[in-house]
């Protein structure tokens, strides 16, 4: 697929009627524009596309810099006003033409609304969907559907391609609901009116019919949603007593297809992309240590676990699958720290692979709790924030070899952007909100800032913006949304009387181009004006005059309150240091008096010694 771009030979500035005019705005130039077909931006590196744009324009002569792969472009004096920004804008539009727009969901007490995401036209976001009353909202994992709970008996599902409601469900005594990853199914939990009533129902969104029902007494963080799906919804499973039941993700009419017996299983985590393996956690019981086991999801491969790890002093676990379903990170948490170093117990980080190549602890270089863990989008690296404050952050490869140290600081949160290039290291919750932004590929820190009292934080789907939100009921004051650039500079901030939810509409990272390559290519472009020799000499003389006459203005001194003006002088006198402050007349007079008195006393002491 190509894109049209008008870049024809630019008419000479000496052409009649066009002398002294900008060629990009002259009628003769506009008449000569013709479309040029170039490859799609995502099919070739953006640097190649940008360079080709200028190489195909005869009025520019590319000149490589010595010992550099960058290019600068010379143009004649008449063509200096060529609108380079127009070329860059066209290229930007071509690069982002196939990329989906960004959207932000904002929920307040009156309901939720949907904003068009950055960049904003006039510094403020425009509204994509007006405020709609609701009590809870949730996007599907792929961002194709939006679930809206309006009351204790009504659930609506929206199609995110046009944000039109496609189905409304009336469910009495509704407690909570959840969408499947692709938005095909809606799962609801309602209060039971009788002990035998099946209160968990799986609905097919398109038809609105119930496809599966089951009885569940209560829900917890580890047992909801009751039915778990892989990212493509090809595999579905459910945790039951001492077993895991597997379903056909396309047909629930026959019930579960097969079951996997795991005595004492308390929590499961199905790998998402692809849904090839499942991790099962069995807590301690009667002196038998707790364990995490990995099984294959295929029925003919479930006789034995492909990996297993046992733990002593284990109260709970957090299971983190990587993209590709080849590795599992297990954060083991104990309620009691026998070393008495932490009131919150102790935690360890274990790593298991589906091929059995690694089963053991991740070698961390500092003692203390595991604050946060996250895999990169490629699934080849993972980042860990660990240790007593100031915490340490390290990136490891799939063999647990350290790749990059991100330093230490008041951090407990790490967020890896969907493109795998930028990382945000932050300290939220009871920490002051420090944030450090890193470029992982370049192995350097881009910037640092603060977002105090943040409750939620996440990268945008295209990986260019980082949003934090201070929400209720965690915090009832200073509710706000902040959006930062990838380097930590503040892009947007909005305050709310009360804010319940703020999140990005999810999109696949593959649908966005490599923004970093585009930025780098545009930064490497420079336009130099080629002047006649006479003009060059004259301009150099003028520039010398300007440089000699226009000296930089001195910055005004910072304001200091009256009570602090003599603070430095007092401190210098107390500690015997020299003060840089200008003393007043009275202070100088008193200083001279003290010096004379000291000299007089010294002279008297000297004469007394000589007399004796």
pLDDT band at 182 (very low <50, low <70, confident <90, very high): very high
Higher pLDDT residue, 20 or 243? Answer: 243
- Predicted confidence at residue 356, as pLDDT, reads 82
Stated pTM of the model = 0.69
pLDDT band at 466 (very low <50, low <70, confident <90, very high): very high
Q: What gap in Å lies between CA 213 and CA 247, rounded to an integer? A: 13
Output the DSSP codes for 238-278: EEETTEEEEEETTB-TT--SEEEE-TT--EEEE--SS--EE
Q: Tens of pLDDT along 506-553? A: 988 887 876 555 445 434 443 333 344 444 444 444 444 433 333 444
- Predicted confidence at residue 420, as pLDDT, reads 86
Q: What's the whole-number mean pLDDT along residues 592-607?
A: 83
- Predicted confidence at residue 455, as pLDDT, reads 93
Give, in order, the Cα–Cα distances in Å from 402 to each of 385, 393, 394, 488, 601.
13, 10, 7, 25, 69
3-state secondary structure of 71: strand
Residue 286 phi, psi dihedral angles, 5° rounding: 55, 50
Residues 334, 347 contacting (CB under 8 angstroms): yes
Residues 10, 29 contacting (CB under 8 angstroms): yes
Specify whether the backbone of 31 is left (phi greater than 0), alpha (psi in -120 to 50) or beta. Answer: alpha
pLDDT band at 612 (very low <50, low <70, confident <90, very high): low
Residues 396, 402 contacting (CB under 8 angstroms): yes
- Predicted confidence at residue 252, as pLDDT, reads 87
3-state secondary structure of 465: strand
pLDDT band at 121 (very low <50, low <70, confident <90, very high): confident
Could you tell me which residues are beta bridge partners of residue 104? 115, 504
- Predicted confidence at residue 42, as pLDDT, reads 38
- What domains can you pick out in the chain, each with its CATH number? 1-99 (no CATH), 262-361 (no CATH), 367-512 (2.130.10.10)
User: Residue 195 burial (CB < 10 Å; 0-12/13-18/19+)?
Assistant: exposed
User: Residue 245 burial (CB < 10 Å; 0-12/13-18/19+)?
Assistant: middle
- Predicted confidence at residue 509, as pLDDT, reads 82
Residues 308, 293 contacting (CB under 8 angstroms): yes
Q: Pairing mode, if any, of strands 434-439 and 444-450? A: antiparallel
3-state secondary structure of 573: helix
User: Has residue 1 got a pLDDT over 70?
Assistant: no
Q: Pairing mode, if any, of strands 381-386 and 370-375? A: antiparallel
Sheet containing 465-470, strands listed edge to edge, beginning at the edge strand earlier in sequence: 456-459, 465-470, 479-485, 490-496
Among 292, 283, 394, which residue's Cα sits nearest to residue 352?
A: 292
Angle made by CA atoms 599, 600, 606, in degrees to the nearest 5 = 90
pLDDT band at 557 (very low <50, low <70, confident <90, very high): low
Q: State the sign of the Cα–Cα–Cα–Cα dihedral 123, 505, 175, 428.
A: negative
- Predicted confidence at residue 561, as pLDDT, reads 64
Among 395, 396, 453, which residue's Cα sits nearest to residue 425?
A: 395
The dihedral formed by the CA atoms of 356, 358, 361 and 366, expressed in degrees to the nearest 10: -160
Q: Tens of pLDDT along 3-47? A: 433 334 434 444 444 444 444 444 444 344 444 343 333 333 443
Q: Tens of pLDDT along 328-340? A: 999 998 887 777 7
Report the length, in residues, of the chain: 612
- Predicted confidence at residue 511, as pLDDT, reads 78
- Predicted confidence at residue 604, as pLDDT, reads 81
Q: What gap in Å lies between CA 226 and CA 268, rounded to an integer? A: 11
User: Has residue 92 got a pLDDT over 80?
Assistant: no
User: Has residue 581 got a pLDDT over 50?
Assistant: no
Q: What gap in Å lies between CA 231 and CA 229, rounded to an integer? A: 6
Q: What's the whole-number mean pLDDT along residues 78-105?
A: 58
Q: Tens of pLDDT along 248-269? A: 888 888 888 889 999 999 999 9
> What is the percent of the chain with per-residue pLDDT over 70, rounded to a whole number?
71
Q: Tens of pLDDT along 157-175? A: 999 988 899 999 998 889 9
- Predicted confidence at residue 328, as pLDDT, reads 93
CA 544 to chain centre: 47
Q: Tens of pLDDT along 385-427? A: 999 989 999 999 988 999 999 999 999 999 999 888 999 999 9
- Predicted confidence at residue 517, as pLDDT, reads 54
Residues 245, 264 contacting (CB under 8 angstroms): no
């Amino acid at each position: 697929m190509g894109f049209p771009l008008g870049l024809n030979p630019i008419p000479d500035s000496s052409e009649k009627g066009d002398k002294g005019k900008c060629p990009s705005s002259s009628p003769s130039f506009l008449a000569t524009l013709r479309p040029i077909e170039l490859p799609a931006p995502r099919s070739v590196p953006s640097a190649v596309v940008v360079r080709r744009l200028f190489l195909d324009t005869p009025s520019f002569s590319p000149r490589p810099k010595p010992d550099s792969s960058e290019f600068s472009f010379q143009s004649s004096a008449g063509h200096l006003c060529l609108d380079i920004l127009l070329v860059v804008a066209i290229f930007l539009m071509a690069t982002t033409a196939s990329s989906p727009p960004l959207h932000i969901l904002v929920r307040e007490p009156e309901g939720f609304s949907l904003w068009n995401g950055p960049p904003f036209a006039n510094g403020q976001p425009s509204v994509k969907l007006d405020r709609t009353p609701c009590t809870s909202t949730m996007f599907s994992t792929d961002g194709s559907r939006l679930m809206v709970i309006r009351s204790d008996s009504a659930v609506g599902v929206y199609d995110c391609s046009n944000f039109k409601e496609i189905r409304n469900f009336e469910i009495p005594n509704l407690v909570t609901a959840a969408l499947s990853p692709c938005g095909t199914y809606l799962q609801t939990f309602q209060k039971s009116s009788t002990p035998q009533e099946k209160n968990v129902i799986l609905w097919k969104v398109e038809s609105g019919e119930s496809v599966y029902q089951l009885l569940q007494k209560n829900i917890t963080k580890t047992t909801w949603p009751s039915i778990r799906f892989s990212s493509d919804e090809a595999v579905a499973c459910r945790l039951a007593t001492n077993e895991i039941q597997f379903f056909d993700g396309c047909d629930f009419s026959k019930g579960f297809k097969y079951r996997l017996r795991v005595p004492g299983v308390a929590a499961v985590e199905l790998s998402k992309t692809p849904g090839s393996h499942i991790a099962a956690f069995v807590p301690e019981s009667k002196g038998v240590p707790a364990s995490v086991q990995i099984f294959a999801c295929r029925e003919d491969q479930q006789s034995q676990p492909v990996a297993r790890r046992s733990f002593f002093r284990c109260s709970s676990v957090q299971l983190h699958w990587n993209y590709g379903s080849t590795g599992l990170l297990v954060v083991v948490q104990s309620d009691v720290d026998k070393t008495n170093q932490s009131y919150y117990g102790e935690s360890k980080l274990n790593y298991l692979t589906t091929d059995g190549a690694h089963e053991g602890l991740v070698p961390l270089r500092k003692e203390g709790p595991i604050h946060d863990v996250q895999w990169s989008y490629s699934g080849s690296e993972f980042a860990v924030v660990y240790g007593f404050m100031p915490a340490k952050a390290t990136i490891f490869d799939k063999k647990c070899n350290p790749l990059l140290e991100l330093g230490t600081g008041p951090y407990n949160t790490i967020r890896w952007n969907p493109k795998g290039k930028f990382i945000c290291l932050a300290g939220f919750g009871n920490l002051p909100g420090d944030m450090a932004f890193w470029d992982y590929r370049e192995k350097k820190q881009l910037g640092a800032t603060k977002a105090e009292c943040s409750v939620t934080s996440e990268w945008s789907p295209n990986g260019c913006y980082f949003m934090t939100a201070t929400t209720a009921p965690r915090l009832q004051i200073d509710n706000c949304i902040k959006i930062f650039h990838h380097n930590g500079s503040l892009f947007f901030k909005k305050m709310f009387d009360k804010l319940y939810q703020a999140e990005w509409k999810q999109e696949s990272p593959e649908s966005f181009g490599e923004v970093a390559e585009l930025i780098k290519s545009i930064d490497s472009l420079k336009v130099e004006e080629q002047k006649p020799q006479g003009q060059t000499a004259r301009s150099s003389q003028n520039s010398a005059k300007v440089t000699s006459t226009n000296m930089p203005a001195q910055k005004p001194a910072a304001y200091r309150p009256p009570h602090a003006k003599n603070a430095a002088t007092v401190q210098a006198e107390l500690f015997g240091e020299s003060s840089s402050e200008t003393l007043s007349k009275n202070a100088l007079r008193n200083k001279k008096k003290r010096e004379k008195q000291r000299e007089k006393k010294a002279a008297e002491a000297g004469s007394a010694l000589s007399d004796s």
